[in-house]
Amino acid sequence: MAWTASAIPEQEFCEPLHDLESKAEKLAEKIRQSKHFIAFTGAGISTSAGIPDFRGPDGNWTLRAQGKTRTGPTTSTLQAIPTLTHMALVELQNRGFLKYLISQNCDGLHRRSGILPLCRGSHKQEHLSELHGNSNREYCKSCGKDYIRDFRAVGTYEKSDDDHRTGRKCVCGHDLHDSIINFGESLPEIPLDLARHHAKLTDLCLVLGSSLTVTPANEIPESVALRRSRRALEPSLVICNLQKTPLDKLSQIRVFSKTDDLMARVMDKLEIPVPSFILRRRVNITVEENERGKCQVNVLGIDTDGTPVSFLKSVRLLTHRRLLTKEPFRFMPHGGVETGTKLDFEFEFMGHYCEPKLMFTHEYDDNIGKSLYLLEYDPSTGRWTIAKDEEE
């Protein structure tokens, strides 16, 4: 916890390259053989994105214990590019190796990287537990609805440290609350239960970039190690961190390195390329009759699990005079919309990755009430691509 951080940071270690190569090969083989592989991540996986950790030499809690304030440059979590480690985990999930991801991080990079929070299909299955919350996610305590924002959705804490209200309202009319877990607060029940469930199923738990000192989250990988002590050869606990952790002696493979250095080698030995980061957005466009009998065109950003996502700064329907700058984005074209009508839109984004405005055309078909568009932005080229999801 923050108040246990020392003014003298823990020493960092780095494996000799030949040892790192050997351990990467052993880990790659364990991943190949694993039936239920899970990962547990901490702040160390985001440091190469420019986001400081907590207990490192320049960590947030270390500086606090030293009575210092940060003077060097940092990267906003909203502008940070997911790291090689983030993208390696995405690809391991896509290929069916990684069955579940448990994270202590609040920076939102896992969801932005492309990790699926929920598997699509008739039998939906959770894939991600953000145990300490997500600075881009807020929720309604009354109806349980979640919202993902392309801005920091953090409480104002006007009345107390326990006041997580963000100042926005849910569609049901009740207050929205941030999802951040502060010290002394209980972890969210469902993500914690799911993390424990997968820890019981796993035969391989990989810890990346965590000091494993914050409870009760650190009890998840510890439970894996303790289960091994009762069952011969299974399961395996692998830890990669620059500093020592309390669970080092319980691990089967202990790697002292930056997580990117390890995962680059592991992916190479698995012969799996690490994908570049692509910012993916999903937009639903619906044409319907509202409660007053008027034709209404709705534009809504959503995540892969259907959670509403706020990433549009403004929306313009070119045949409509008004530029809409606040959600919900709803247009009521005069005379309605007939089948075959082409609706030309201009989207303006929050711009954290310098996304340019996007112009595209939606052709209305009254046999399809809702159309889903997949928007992909490559920060390296500054270009958008658009595809219509025919499964919807």
Least confident range of 17-26, 86-95, 183-192 = 183-192
Q: According to the model, what pLDDT value does residue 62 have?
A: 52
Q: According to the model, what pLDDT value does residue 3 have?
A: 47
pLDDT band for position 2 (cuts 50, 70, 90) = very low
Amino acid type, 364: Y
Distance (Å, rounded) from C-alpha 320 to C-alpha 339? 18
Task: List pLDDT tens digits, range 95-109.
Answer: 999 999 999 999 999
Residue 297 scores a pLDDT above 70? yes
Numbers of helices and strands, H then E, in the chain: 7, 20
Distance (Å, rounded) from C-alpha 81 to C-alpha 353? 9
Q: Specify whether the CB–CB gap between 350 and 338 falls below 8 A.
A: no
pLDDT band for position 19 (cuts 50, 70, 90) = very high
Residue 323 scores a pLDDT above 90? yes
Which residues participate in catalysis according to the annotation?
132
Q: According to the model, what pLDDT value does residue 227 have?
A: 83
Q: According to the model, what pLDDT value does residue 230 have?
A: 54
Q: Specify whether the CB–CB gap between 242 and 56 falls below 8 A.
A: yes
**DSSP letters for 14-75:** ---HHHHHHHHHHHHHHHHH-SSEEEEE-GGGSGGGT---SSSTT-HHHHHHTT----S---
Q: According to the model, what pLDDT value does residue 233 have?
A: 56
205 in a known ligand binding site: no
3-state class percentages of the chain: helix first, strand second, coil last, to nearest 5: 20, 30, 50
143 in a known ligand binding site: yes
172 in a known ligand binding site: yes
pTM: 0.91
Q: Give the distance from CA 59 to its chain's centroid.
A: 21
pLDDT band for position 183 (cuts 50, 70, 90) = confident
Task: List pLDDT tens digits, range 158-175.
Answer: 777 789 999 999 999 999
pLDDT band for position 56 (cuts 50, 70, 90) = low
Q: According to the model, what pLDDT value does residue 73 have?
A: 58
Residue ranges and CATH numbers for the domains of the chain are: 2-135+180-270 (3.40.50.1220), 279-388 (2.60.40.1970)
354 in a known ligand binding site: no
Residue 120 is encoded by which pair of tokens? Answer: 């699509």
Least confident range of 122-126, 137-141, 254-258, 360-364 = 122-126
Task: List pLDDT tens digits, range 112-150.
Answer: 999 988 654 434 568 999 999 999 999 999 999 999 999
Least confident range of 57-61, 79-83, 287-291, 379-383 = 57-61
Count CB neighbours of 1 within 10 A.
11
Least confident range of 4-13, 37-46, 241-250, 269-278 = 4-13
Cis peptide, bond prior to residue 308, ω within 30 of zero: no
